């Protein structure tokens, strides 16, 4: 055998070993299992909003592809069933924002098919009634984020013909909005937020068609934003950080449970990633067993995480899925 042929054979063997190694990595089993729950009783929709009070999740508004909605539905997580509640008191809309504060739900902002909105409404679950509150102090907008952290509630980012990065805090006692310290990240809409240990984590979203890769933590006790590691690629030689991250997205669903954050779906994706704040590292988990989707809802109820509704192209969904991050995936339980 000539030296050239020997070198060629060795090269082929090495490439074969590399291919097997990569294949084994690609075929590695991911942890996590999805359980299908009681389907949403209202019309299938995307771009709805939600808030959680006790063991109930409340889902309101959204778009069916033909109609903007203002209905409100409550999910009983203990009994796994839905109940219709009093309609939202504002105009029908999609891409609104919401949060829970002091046992009441709040929804505002959004788009009604013609106008960007800034009205703001409170829901009382004890009386099943809505009350209009002071308009949002920022510009009318849609696709903003809303969250409550450390007993304080916020709206921020979104789109008002310009991509935005401002944040406002709501005081329920005085029914007033106050602009808070500027967000140091990029402007965006369709971002996602989850809350862990009284800190809010803002991730993903888009600006002029470009996915945003910066990732931020907000501490309400100091009113400050801290930059975390970007979600797009390896920035150093730390082998514990995956240089093949495929987390970047917008219109995703987010929730947290047991001290970890989760980012799922977006742009017809069905992947889900788990964030550990102690290490600032993401880990991929078993993808959603339902259809890939965008503009879905994510929320957690008593350390249980759920993803529901959304759309893929012109298909709108009414399915509801609970995620069990520590269980092995099981094809036979749905």
Give the total number of structural domains in the chain: 1
Residue 19 lies in a domain: no
Q: What is the pLDDT of residues 198-244, one digit of tens each?
A: 999 999 999 999 999 999 999 999 999 999 999 986 555 565 666 66
Q: Are 131 and 124 in contact (CB under 8 A)?
A: yes
Q: What is the pLDDT of residues 28-61, one digit of tens each?
A: 689 999 999 999 999 999 999 999 999 999 999 9
Residue 25 lies in a domain: no
Average pLDDT value over all residues in the chain: 91
Q: What is the pLDDT of residues 113-157, one digit of tens each?
A: 999 999 999 999 999 999 999 999 999 999 999 999 999 999 999
Among residues 333, 253, 292, 306, the alpha carbon closest in space to that of 80 is found at 306
pLDDT at 238: 60
Residue 334 lies in a domain: no
pLDDT at 144: 98
Residue scoring higher pLDDT (238 or 325): 325
Residue 67 lies in a domain: yes
Q: How far apart are CA 220 and CA 167, in angstroms?
A: 12
Q: How far apart are CA 110 and CA 142, in angstroms?
A: 4
Q: What domain range includes position 84?
A: 31-328
Read off the CATH number of the domain in which 56 is found: 2.120.10.80
Residue 8 lies in a domain: no
pLDDT at 27: 43
Q: What is the pLDDT of residues 293-305, one digit of tens each?
A: 999 999 999 999 9
- For residue 20, give Cα distances in angstroms to 7, 11, 24, 27, 235: 20, 14, 6, 10, 27
- Does 24 have pLDDT greater than 50? no
| pTM of the predicted structure, to 2 decimals | 0.90
Q: In what order do the strands lie in the sheet with 163-171?
A: 145-149, 152-159, 163-171, 176-179
Residue 17 lies in a domain: no
Residue 127 lies in a domain: yes
Structure-token pair, residue 281: 């590292």
- For residue 191, give Cα distances in angstroms to 33, 143, 202: 25, 8, 7
Residue 110 lies in a domain: yes
The number of angstroms, rounded, from the C-alpha of 257 to the middle of its chain's C-alpha atoms is 13
């Amino acid at each position: 055998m000539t030296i050239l042929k020997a070198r060629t054979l060795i090269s082929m063997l090495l490439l074969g070993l590399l291919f097997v190694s990569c294949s084994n990595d690609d075929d590695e089993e991911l942890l996590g299992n999805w359980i299908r729950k009681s389907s949403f009783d209202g019309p299938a929709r995307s771009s709805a909003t939600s808030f959680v009070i006790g063991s109930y999740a409340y889902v309101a508004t959204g778009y069916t592809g033909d109609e903007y909605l203002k209905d409100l539905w409550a999910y009983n997580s203990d009994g796994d069933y839905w109940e219709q509640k009093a309609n939202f008191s504002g105009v029908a809309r999609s891409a609104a924002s919401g949060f829970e504060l002091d046992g009441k739900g709040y929804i505002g902002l959004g788009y009604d098919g013609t106008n960007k909105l800034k009205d703001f409404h409170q829901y009382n679950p004890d009386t099943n009634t809505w009350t209009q509150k002071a308009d949002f102090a920022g510009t009318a907008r849609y696709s903003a984020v809303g969250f409550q952290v450390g007993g304080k509630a916020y709206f921020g980012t979104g789109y008002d013909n310009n991509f935005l990065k401002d944040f406002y805090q709501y005081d329920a006692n005085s029914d007033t909005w106050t602009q808070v310290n500027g967000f140091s990240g990029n402007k965006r809409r369709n971002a996602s937020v989850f809350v862990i240990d009284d800190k809010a984590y803002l991730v993903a979203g888009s600006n002029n068609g470009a996915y945003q890769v910066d990732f931020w933590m907000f501490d309400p006790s100091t009113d400050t934003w801290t930059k975390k590691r970007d979600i797009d690629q390896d920035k150093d030689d730390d082998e514990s950080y995956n240089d093949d991250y495929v987390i970047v997205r917008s219109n995703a669903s987010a929730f947290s449970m047991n001290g970890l954050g989760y980012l799922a779906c977006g742009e017809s994706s069905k992947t889900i990633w788990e964030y550990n704040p102690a290490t600032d590292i993401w880990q991929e988990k078993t993808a959603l067993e339902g259809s890939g989707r965008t503009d879905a809802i994510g929320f957690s109820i008593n350390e249980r995480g759920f993803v529901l509704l959304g759309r893929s192209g012109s298909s709108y969904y009414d399915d509801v899925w609970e995620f069990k991050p520590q269980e092995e995936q099981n094809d036979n339980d749905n």
